Amino acid sequence: MKQLGILDAAFINLEQTNTPQHVGGMGIYDPSTAPGGFVRFKDVIAGFERRLGSMPLFRTRLVEVPGGLDRPYWVKDANFDVEFHLRHIALPEPGDWRQLCIQVARLHSRPLDMSRPLWEAYIIEGLDNIPNLPNGCFAVYTKMHHSLVDGAGGSSFMAALHDLVADPGDMDEADTEPRLVDTEPAMAELLTKASVNSVKNALQLARGTLRTTGELGKYARAIMREEIPAPDVSAPKTILNKSVGPHRVFDAAEFPLEGFKDIKNAAGVTINDVALGVVGGALARYLEAKGELPEEGSLAAALPLNMRTRRSMTDDNNQVGSVFASLHSDIKDPLQRLAAVKESTAEAKISGESSPMVDAMMLAGVLSPAITKTLAGLWSRNELSRFIPMNVSTCISNVAGPDFPLYCAGAKMVDYFGLGVLTPGMGIFHLVFSYSGKVTLSVLADRDIIPDPEFYHDCLVAAYEELYAAAVLDAQGRSSKAVAAKAKIISPRRKRAADSTAPKPKARTKAKAKTKTKVKAKAKAKAKAKAKKASGAAKSAAAKRKLPAAGRKQAAKTAKVASAPAKRKAAAKSKAPVKRKAVASAAKAKAKAKAKAKVKAAPNRPKVKRRAAAKARPKLKA
């Protein structure tokens, strides 16, 4: 039994219905490399079971302290069943890239079962209509709670679950030793440990508060002396900063790693800067097409930092910090924007690593779960993130994967895409992953904030192609057709709309404008016709007044003669209804007379019997 670290406990305490704290990944595999050319579901199960023997953390479940008085514990589950965590599903028709993205988004939006080991995996079949994939490919989507792994830890987990060759043979035999399990701790034991830890935690909190206060003072003095740059808190608020709901969308774009390196070498930047430049350009394109691009200021992004390389190693599963940088989305020129991103990321790392706020997430783990969970719920329900002065539009995480192929149950991994976590007030997450000569840029977003992820995918591809064509020039210093052709993404996972520069709602707006102009034109034509009639009537009246008395009499006679036929017609019309009424009344009279004659011809019935029958009938109550 092991107690969670401070940062690990922070992700447990921040778990909410609309913002579950798990990360995920999806790999696509080619079964043709497996022995026999195909993979069975039980082969995947056997591979997972064999690998999890050396990773006991993924066989542990969470045990919380009663009342939330202390951080929870990891306990090795005696009832661990790998088949509960591995599910086998298939895509609905038509089984294309869009269907795969929808399925992954639905799976990622569901919170994990907190009473079991905090991970799940889904084997997804039916990818036959995704272009540029080998026949018979399948996908494996995994999700793990952030308390188990961070970005770097997730990459290690992915590598541990894969083989380096298609057929490992007897290299990694299943662990035949019995797996150790923990006994369930009693409530008295947990409460006793909580009472002891409460004193330790209070002392740690006091020391941490004093240390943080001193570090904040040093940080402020360094900024005043201009030794380190001040953080930029002037980012504008956009539609990306709306409250986050429970539903998600997912999409991803794939780029050649060689293309990223070409831009890096030409502009003198890093691969991470290139990724930020592409994201900044894509967000600017998307917001501009929606009419939501801020007139002033640039969008800001959160950049996770791997603190393992900056501090001493600890036993915590999460060793991550975060800094903020400007994407310079207000700069139109892609090369100027990339140069500005290089400066802002360098300043953010210097400023962020010197600031104690890089560990702001730890505050959610220092306090007891009873306090932190209550505050997190109030923050999420009341949308308090809208009052934060610094508006972070997105989080961009860059994870470097292996530059060699990996295999799962003998099937070669073709692609890998990562999925992150959304937080209140930040509705889109980007994860950049490099693997075997490719760079995938995955997008996870709130469904109400990014309702058209396929259009945003096109914005990402267009931003990359524009940046590549501007950065990589020919010998004469010009962007040639060959360079522009090389920038094109040759093998997309789904077909991109040809020269799509605006979303569909814009086309509907144009159609509405056309109908409005037609209606206005018709109204103007009617008004002109009425004006002509009125002017003609006025002219005839004026002409009549100008005539002498004899002329007026003659005009009246001609008017009477002209109106005589019309009067006769009107009289005929008015008489017609009268005639029809008379005929109808005569027909009714005849019908009545016939009815009376029949009654007289009928034999007389005794009136007494009819009266008695009437009295015998039951009366209806009101």
Reported as a single tens digit per residue, the pLDDT across 62-116 is 999 999 889 999 999 988 888 899 999 999 888 899 999 999 999 999 999 999 9
Question: What integer is the mean pLDDT of 195-204?
Answer: 84
CB 406 within 8 A of CB 45: no
Report the 10 Å Cβ neighbour count for 69: 18
From 201, 212, 208, select the one nearest 71 (Cα to Cα): 201
Residue 266 has pLDDT above 80, yes or no: yes
Arithmetic mean of pLDDT, 258-270? 93
pLDDT tens digits along 435-453: 989 999 999 999 999 999 9
Give me 589's structure tokens: 């009279």
Residue 157 · residue 51 · CB < 8 Å? no
Q: Please report, for the chain, how many H helices and E strands are present, in that order.
A: 16, 15
Residue 278 three-state SS: helix
pLDDT recorded at residue 608: 43
Average pLDDT, the chain: 79
> What's the average model confidence in pLDDT over 271-298?
94
Report how far residue 138's alpha carbon sits from residue 39's, in angstroms, rounded to the nearest whole number: 9
The DSSP secondary structure of 42-67, one letter per residue, reads HHHHHHHHHHHTT-GGGGEEEEPPGG
pLDDT value, residue 543: 52
* Spatial CB neighbours of 151, under 8 Å, sequence gap ≥ 6: 23, 304, 306, 320, 397, 399
Region 160-184: what's the mean pLDDT?
71
Confidence at residue 452, expressed as pLDDT on a 0 to 100 scale: 95
Kindly state the average pLDDT of the residues 284-293.
Answer: 95
Kindly tell me the burial class for residue 116, based on how many C-beta atoms sit within 10 Å of its own C-beta (0-12, 13-18, 19 or more).
Answer: middle
What 3-state class would DSSP assign to 332? coil
Q: Delineate the domains of the chain, giving CATH numbers in brackets.
A: 2-177+210-487 (3.30.559.10)
CA 60 centroid distance within chain? 31
| DSSP bridge pairs for 434 | 400, 439
**221-235, 376-390, 424-438, 463-477 — most confident range:** 424-438
The DSSP symbol for 380 reads H
Apex CA 526: angle with CA 525 and CA 530, to 5°?
120
Please give the share of the chain, as a percent, with pLDDT higher than 90: 38
* Amino acid 580: pLDDT: 56
pLDDT value at 414 more than 70: yes
Of 174-188, 264-278, 358-372, least confident by mean pLDDT is 174-188
252 CB neighbour count, 10 Å cutoff: 27
Q: Which stretches within 355-452 are classed as H helix?
A: 363-366, 369-381
pLDDT at 521: 59
**22-50 per-residue burial string, b: 16 or more CB within 10 A, e: under 16:** bbbbbbbbbbbbbeeeebeeebbbebbeb
What pLDDT digit, counting tens, does each position of 342-358 carry? 999 998 888 777 776 66
Q: What is the pLDDT of residue 382?
A: 79
Least confident of 10-19, 47-56, 109-118, 297-306: 47-56
